[in-house]
Structure 1
Amino acid sequence: MENLFCFSKASCQEMGGGYLKRANAPQLQEIFNKYASIEKNGEKYMSADDFVIKYLRILNDKDHNADTVRLLAGIVDTSKDGLISYPEFQAFEGLLCFPDALYKTAFQLFDTNGNGMVAFQEFVEVMKKTELHQRIPFNMESPFIQLYFGKNKSRLVSYNEFSQFLHDFHEEYAIEGFRRADKDGSGFISVLDFQDIMISIKSHLLTKEVQSHLIEAVQGETQSRKVSFPYFIAFNSLLNNMELVKRIYLNVTNGHRNQEVSKDEFMHSAQAMSQMTPLEVDILFHLVDVLHQTGRIVYNDLYAIAPEQYFKQITNRLAEIHAVSSPEDRGVVIQILESSYRFTLGSIAGAVGATAVYPIDLVKTRMQNQRTGSFIGELMYRNSMDCFKKVIRHEGVFGLYRGLVPQLLGVAPEKAIKLTVNDFVRDKFTDKNGRIPLYGEILSGACAGGSQVIFTNPLEIVKIRLQVAGEIAGGAKVRAWAVVKELGLFGLYKGARACLLRDVPFSAIYFPAYAHTKASMADESGYNHPLTLLAAGAIAGIPAASLVTPADVIKTRLQVVARAGQTTYSGVLDATRKIYKEEGFRAFWKGSIARVFRSSPQFGVTLFTYELLQRTLYVDFGGSRPSGSELKVPSLGGDKAITNVDHLGGYSVSVPIFSGIESKFGLCLPKFSLPKA
C-alpha cells in the first residue's frame, strides 16, 4: 500500500498544485489530536466513529449503521487494526489531492485486508452490505465476474484493473437486472420491471423529475407495456453520456444556452460527431417532451434529465476554497485587476439601472422641490401621477429624460465604485469558510455608500437643476456644462453632507438586506434564478429608500436653485429647521413613494445586471464571486452539504469524494441502523 498512499512532501505539493493545495503538517496534526479520542502507548488514535461521524460528519451521530462506519473508516485504516493513526490520517489527506482520488478511495473500500489487492471474497463482503445488492442480488457466478477474478475466483485484482472493473460493473449490474426480469428470454421486460431496475440500480443517474415520469416516458416512446433490450441499453447509455449531450447541444447553438434546438438539428450534429445513436436521440427528445412538452430542447432541459455527478460537487468545493483564500495571497496586481473588472461591470450595470427608472427619478425630484408655506401661489403638482402627466403634456415624452446624459456620465462610475467597494470590503470581512458577520455586511455597505459621494454629489446637483428647469414656462434652456461652469469645483459639492447622510445609511441597509433576501429566495441547492435576483434587489430597496428619504429631501433643497419667494438654506441643520417650521414633519417624506418606486427597481435592475454580467463574463481572479451564482447540487440522498472548518487540504473534498462512491458507482451503504426486531 505504500506505493498508493504514501508520498513524499515534494510529490504531494506537485500534484496538489494542479488539483488541491496540501494542508501543512502542524495544522493537520492539531486537527487530528482534536478528534482522536483513543490513546495507546503514548500515541493518539482516531476510532471509526471519530473519523466518520465526528470529523467527516457524513452519518448521524445518534442513529447510524455500524457496518457502514467500519467500512468507511477502513478506507483510511490501511493497517486494518481498527484504529486510525496520524500517519494514516495524513497519508489519506495526500491521497485526496490526486485527480483519481475517487477510484483510489473506492479501491481502498474493497481492499479490506490492506494488502494492496482486491480478492473476490473481499469484493463480495462489501457488495453484500450495499443497499443495491440487498434489493437486487448480483449473480457472483456470472461470466463477467469470472473474467476479472478468474474461473475459480482466486485471482487478485490490482488497483488499475479494479478501477476498470468498477467502471464496467455497474453497467453489467443493470444488464443482470434485465436478465432477471426477462424470465422467458424474449428480450423484453415489463414497464414496471424497467422502473424497478432503474430506480434500484440507476437511481444515482436519475433526477426526481425523471423518476416520477419513468412509466409515462417509456409507454409514450414504446407504445406498449414492454421495454426491449435495445431501448433499455440506449436509455442507460443516454444517462451515462449527458455531458456528451451537452457538448452536442452547444455545437448546434455555437455555444448559446438559450436557443431552442429541434430534433433534426440535434440529430444532424450528433451524427456528425458520430457519438449518439438515433434511438438515444429519440429517447432524449421524448423525455424532454414528457417533462416540459415543448418538442424542442434548451440547455436547461438537460439538467432536468441528469443530475450533476460527484465531480461537480468537487469542482464547486474547490471554487469555494479558492474564493475564500486570503486576498493577500493573490498579490496587489491581481487585486487591482479584479477591482478594475468589477468597476467595468458596475459601470454597465449602473447605466442600465439608471436609464430604466429615470422618469420616476425626475418626478421624485420635482415633488421634493415643491414648496409649501411660501407666497409663490398654488402647488404645481397634486401628486406624483399628476406631475408625471403634466411633464408629458407640457414637455413631451423626452421631458421625462431631462438630464439623462450627465446622469449616465456620472452614474456609471458612481454605481461602479459603490459595487466595487462593497465587494472589496466584504472580501476583507469574509473568513476562510466564506462566512461574513452582520456587522461586516453593514460596514461594507456603509463604506460603499460613503465612497460614491465623490461622484454622486456633482452628478446629482447638475441633474436636479436640469430636472427642475422645465418647470419654468418660457425659461431659457439650461445645459449641463453651463451648470458646471456656474457652480465651479466647490459648488459641485454643495449639499455633500446631506448626500453622505443619505447614501451611507442607504447602502448600509441595502446591501445586507439584498444579500439575505437573495439567500432566502435561492432554491434548495443555493442557486438564484435571474428573476429571484431582480426580485431580491427590488425588495431590499424598499426599506433602504424609504428610511433615508428625509436626508434626500434636505439634499434636494440644498442643491436646487431657489426661485423668487422660495426659502433658501445655508446648510443641513438650517434646512432641517426651516423645513420643519414652515412645512411640518410630513415635508421630510415628500416624494418618498416616488423615491421607493425609483430606487427599488433601479437597484433591482442594477444588481440583477451586475450579477448576470459576472456570471456570463466571469473571470477568476481568485477572489469571491456572487453567492448563489452557480448551479449547485446538494449532496446525494437529499442531505444538505456538510462542511467542517477542519476539512483542510485534501479533506476539503472528502465529503464529495465519499458521496462519489455512491453517485459514480451506485454503491450505497446503509446510512442508518436497521430497525430492531
Structure 2
Amino acid sequence: MMANNKKNQSNNTILVIHSLISGAVAGALAKSTIAPLDRTKINFQISNAPYSAKAAFKFLSDTYTNNGFFSLWRGNTATMTRIIPYAAIQFTAFEQWRKVLQVDSLTTKNNGSRKFFSGSLAGVTSQTLTYPLDLARARMAVTTKNEYKSLGDVFKKTYHEEGLKGFYRGYVPTILGIIPYAGTSFFTYGTLKSFVKDKHGYENTFVNLASGAVAGMAGQSSSYPLDIIRRKMQTSIITGNYYINLRKTIWIIYKSEGIIQGFFKGLSMNWIKGPIATGISFATYDFVSNTLKSV
C-alpha cells in the first residue's frame, strides 16, 4: 500500500514537472507570436479612439516608423516574465484540478461541467499568482521608454504612486473574465480533440491547432467586455481617467463610448490573434508534454 502511494506521488511529481515545462514553452511561444497585435489591441482598448482595421494598421505602421521594428514587441519582456509562470501554473493547475474534480473518472457525456470548472479554477489560480506582472505588461504596452524605462521601473513607480493596492488594480474584472474564458477554452479544446479522436481515431498537431483556435475564439468572445474593463483600470493612472472600481468603470465606458464601441472595441482583432495564440499554446503544450513523456 505504501509502495503504491509512493509510486503515485512520484508519478504526480513527474506530471507536475512536465506540465510546468510544457506550459512555460507553450505560453512563451504563443504570446511572442502575437505580441505586436496584442500591443495594438491594448492601445485601442484604453483609448476613446474608434477601432478599425485601418486604424490598427496605422498604429503598427506609425510605431514601426517612429520607434523601430522591435518597438512592436515593447512590453514583451514583461509579457514573458508573466506568461512563462502564468502558463506553467495554468496548465499544471488544470491537470491537478482535473484530478481533484475526478474529471477522468466520468464518461465524456457526464464530465462537461467538471471540465469547465477545472479550466476556470486553473485560470483563477494562475491569474491570481501572476497578476502584478500582467498589470506591468499592460502599462509598458501603452507607454514609451520615457515613461517606464523597464519592468523594474513599472513596479517602482506603481508602488511609489499607488502603494501595494496599485498592483491589483483591475483584479476583480480580470477574475470575473478569466472564469468564462479559461473554462470555455479548456472545455472547448478538450471536447473538440476528444470528438475528433473518437470519430476518426487519430490526433495530431494540426487537429490540436484547429481545436485550440476554435477554443480561443470561443473563450475570447465569452469574456471580452471584462477584458476591456480590466485594461482601462490597469492603465488608468497613465490615461488619467478615474477608473477606481468595476461599477464606476462600466458606467464611464458606457457613457463615453456606448455599448458596442465601448465594450467590444477590438474584438475583431481578438478573433485573429486569440485563435492563433490559443491554438499555438494548446498544440505546443501537448507536443512538448508528449515529447517529455517519451523521453
- Give the partner amino acid of 2:72: L
Q: Is the 8 A contact 2:103 2:115 kept in 1?
A: no
- Give the partner amino acid of 1:385: F
What is the CA-CA distance between 1:401 and the residue it aligns to? 0.3
Give the SS at the match of 1:617.
helix
Q: Is the 8 A contact 2:30 2:278 kept in 1?
A: yes
CA distance in 1, matches of 2:204, 2:242: 49
CA distance in 1, matches of 2:282, 2:172: 26
Give the SS at the match of 2:243.
coil
CA distance in 2, matches of 1:477, 1:500: 26
Q: Establish whether residue 358 from structure 1 lines up as the match of residue 35 from structure 2.
A: yes
CA distance in 2, matches of 1:380, 1:487: 32
- Give the partner amino acid of 1:403: G
Q: Establish whether residue 485 from structure 1 lines up as the match of residue 156 from structure 2.
A: yes
What is the CA-CA distance between 1:336 and the residue it aligns to? 3.1
Q: What are the superposed Cα offsets for residues 103-139 of structure 1, whole Å, 9 maximum, x if unpaired?
A: xxxxxxxxxxxxxxxxxxxxxxxxxxxxxxxxxxxxx
2:126 to 452, 467, 473: 452
CA distance in 1, matches of 2:118, 2:5: 18
Q: Which moved more, 1:549-558 or 1:474-483?
A: 474-483
Q: Is the 8 A contact 2:18 2:289 kept in 1?
A: no
Q: What are the superposed Cα offsets for residues 34-75 of structure 1, whole Å, 9 maximum, x if unpaired?
A: xxxxxxxxxxxxxxxxxxxxxxxxxxxxxxxxxxxxxxxxxx
Match of 1:590 in 2: 265
1:370 to 44, 47, 68: 47
What is the CA-CA distance between 1:505 and the residue it aligns to? 1.1
Q: Is the 8 A contact 1:554 1:575 kept in 2?
A: yes
Q: 1:451 to 1:433 in 2, by over 3 A?
A: closer
Match of 2:67 in 1: 395
Match of 1:603 in 2: 278
CA distance in 1, matches of 2:93, 2:148: 37
CA distance in 2, matches of 1:441, 1:328: 26
1:573 to 247, 262, 271: 247
Give the SS at the match of 2:149.
coil
CA distance in 1, matches of 2:147, 2:248: 30
- Give the partner amino acid of 2:249: A
Q: Is the 8 A contact 2:208 2:279 kept in 1?
A: yes
Over aligned residues, Cα RMSD in angstroms? 2.6
Match of 1:430 in 2: 103
Q: Establish whether residue 464 from structure 1 lines up as the match of residue 141 from structure 2.
A: no
Q: Establish whether residue 442 from structure 1 lines up as the match of residue 113 from structure 2.
A: no
Q: 1:379 to 1:548 in 2, by over 3 A?
A: closer
Q: 1:496 to 1:328 in 2, by over 3 A?
A: farther
CA distance in 1, matches of 2:284, 2:219: 19
Match of 1:548 in 2: 223
Q: 1:333 to 1:478 in 2, by over 3 A?
A: same
Give the SS at the match of 1:552.
helix
Q: Establish whether residue 536 from structure 1 lines up as the match of residue 211 from structure 2.
A: yes
Larger radius of gyration, structure 1 or 2?
A: 1
Q: 1:615 to 1:334 in 2, by over 3 A?
A: closer
Give the SS at the match of 1:595.
helix
- Give the partner amino acid of 2:64: I
Q: Is the 8 A contact 1:469 1:478 kept in 2?
A: no
Higher RCO (CA < 8 A, seq sep 6+)? 2
What is the CA-CA distance between 1:481 and the residue it aligns to? 0.5
CA distance in 2, matches of 1:533, 1:357: 18
CA distance in 1, matches of 2:111, 2:12: 22
What is the CA-CA distance between 1:380 and the residue it aligns to? 12
CA distance in 2, matches of 1:561, 1:478: 19
CA distance in 2, matches of 1:475, 1:381: 28
Q: What does 1:203-218 align with in structure 2 at a 5 Å threshold?
A: none
Q: 1:328 to 1:592 in 2, by over 3 A?
A: farther
Q: 1:524 to 1:554 in 2, by over 3 A?
A: closer
CA distance in 1, matches of 2:111, 2:52: 48
Question: TM (normalized to structure 1)?
Answer: 0.40
Question: TM (normalized to structure 2)?
Answer: 0.87
- Give the partner amino acid of 1:478: K
CA distance in 1, matches of 2:285, 2:150: 31
What is the CA-CA distance between 1:329 and the residue it aligns to? 8.2
- Give the partner amino acid of 1:332: Q
Q: 1:396 to 1:331 in 2, by over 3 A?
A: same
Q: What does 1:41-190 align with in structure 2 at a 5 Å threshold?
A: none
Match of 1:263 in 2: none
What is the CA-CA distance between 1:602 and the residue it aligns to? 0.9
Match of 1:345 in 2: 22
Q: What are the superposed Cα offsets for residues 307-364 of structure 1, whole Å, 9 maximum, x if unpaired?
A: xxxxxxxxxxxxxxxxxxxx97854344233212211221111111111111111111
CA distance in 2, matches of 1:450, 1:614: 22
CA distance in 2, matches of 1:494, 1:412: 21
Q: What are the superposed Cα offsets for residues 439-493 of structure 1, whole Å, 9 maximum, x if unpaired?
A: 11111011111111124421221111111113xxx94553210111122343222
Q: Is the 8 A contact 1:449 1:503 kept in 2?
A: yes
What is the CA-CA distance between 1:392 and the residue it aligns to? 1.6
CA distance in 1, matches of 2:21, 2:135: 24
Q: Is the 8 A contact 2:236 2:243 kept in 1?
A: no
Q: Quick one: percent identity of the two aligned structures?
A: 24
Give the SS at the match of 1:383.
helix
Q: 1:434 to 1:413 in 2, by over 3 A?
A: farther
Give the SS at the match of 2:63.
helix
2:80 to 408, 411, 414: 408
Question: Where does structure 2 lack aligned partners over 5 or more consecutive residues?
Answer: none
CA distance in 2, matches of 1:505, 1:367: 23
CA distance in 2, matches of 1:462, 1:602: 20
Give the SS at the match of 2:169.
coil
2:191 to 506, 509, 516: 516
What is the CA-CA distance between 1:371 and the residue it aligns to? 1.8
Give the SS at the match of 1:469.
coil
CA distance in 2, matches of 1:448, 1:533: 20
CA distance in 2, matches of 1:522, 1:331: 27
CA distance in 1, matches of 2:207, 2:53: 36
CA distance in 2, matches of 1:430, 1:561: 41
> How many residues align structurally?
285
Q: 1:438 to 1:381 in 2, by over 3 A?
A: closer
